[in-house]
Amino acid sequence: MRLNRTVAAISLCLLGAVSTSLSGNAAAQQKEGAVASKRVLSLDMAKAIVAAAQEEARKNGWPGAIAVVDDGGWLILAERMDNAATTLGAGVATEKARTAVLFKRPSADLENAVNNGRPAAITAGLVMMEGGLPIVMDGQVVGAIGVSADTKVHDSLIARAGLAALPSLKP
């Protein structure tokens, strides 16, 4: 009889502890659910950005390579246009986009830092060339576009045309 009461008491204690633990977890989960929401750059969005950028390049006779990466710098889409100035452009465009997203600013900012007496910026290990622009939605950097055509001015104009493809983006 005494053993049964002891087992019953232990069982009640354990049940109370489990109940308290579960309600605590529910409260924590509820707080977590309200913490953050994240915008994501979709493949369809990347396709629209690349198509608009290619149209700008075609219209002006500046064939090149265009790449779009996600917020971690991982490639979503890259295309090299016919008659691009170099075959290396696809890799350069991807790295420009990666640089822009990881630094959350245009790749030209890093190029300017190097050119204006901050050579240590070279040690960042990214591409310090104009033509990469972050893609910002609702104040969040969700990805970036990188362009490698012929000149840095043309690269930036093509990239801006790509950003203009999505109405919620500001080129």
- Of the candidates 162, 143, 156, the one whose C-alpha atom is nearest the C-alpha of residue 50 is 162
Alpha helices in the chain (DSSP H): 2-33, 43-60, 89-103, 107-115, 152-163
Q: Are 96 and 110 in contact (CB under 8 A)?
A: no
- What's the pLDDT at 136? 93
If asked whether residues 49 and 102 sit together in one domain, one would say yes
pLDDT in tens, 43-102: 999 999 999 999 999 999 999 999 999 999 999 999 999 999 888 899 999 999 999 999
- What's the pLDDT at 19? 45
β-pairing, 75-80 vs 65-70, is antiparallel
Total domains in the fold of the chain = 2
Domain of 103, in residue numbers: 43-163
Residue 125 maps to a domain: yes
Query: What band does 30 get if pLDDT is binned at 50, 70 and 90?
Result: low
Q: How far is 107 from 122, CA to CA, in rounded Å?
A: 12
Q: Are 91 and 139 in contact (CB under 8 A)?
A: no
- What's the pLDDT at 35? 74
If asked whether residues 85 and 155 sit together in one domain, one would say yes
Sign of the four-CA dihedral 110, 116, 120, 122: positive
What's the CATH code of the domain at 80? 3.30.450.150
Does residue 57 sit in helix, strand or coil?
helix
Residue 111 maps to a domain: yes
pLDDT in tens, 106-161: 988 888 888 887 777 777 777 778 899 999 998 899 999 999 999 999 999 999 99
Residue 170 maps to a domain: no
Q: Which amino acid is at 53?
A: A
If asked whether residues 29 and 50 sit together in one domain, one would say no
Counting Cα atoms < 13 Å in the Cβ hemisphere of 8 gives 5
The mean per-residue pLDDT over the stretch 17-43 comes to 63
Q: Which amino acid is at 141?
A: V
If asked whether residues 3 and 51 sit together in one domain, one would say no
If asked whether residues 9 and 48 sit together in one domain, one would say no
65-70 sheet: strands from edge to edge: 75-80, 65-70, 140-148, 132-137
- Of the candidates 100, 58, 47, the one whose C-alpha atom is nearest the C-alpha of residue 83 is 58
Residue 169 maps to a domain: no
- What's the pLDDT at 17? 44
- Of the candidates 28, 25, 74, 78, the one whose C-alpha atom is nearest the C-alpha of residue 50 is 78
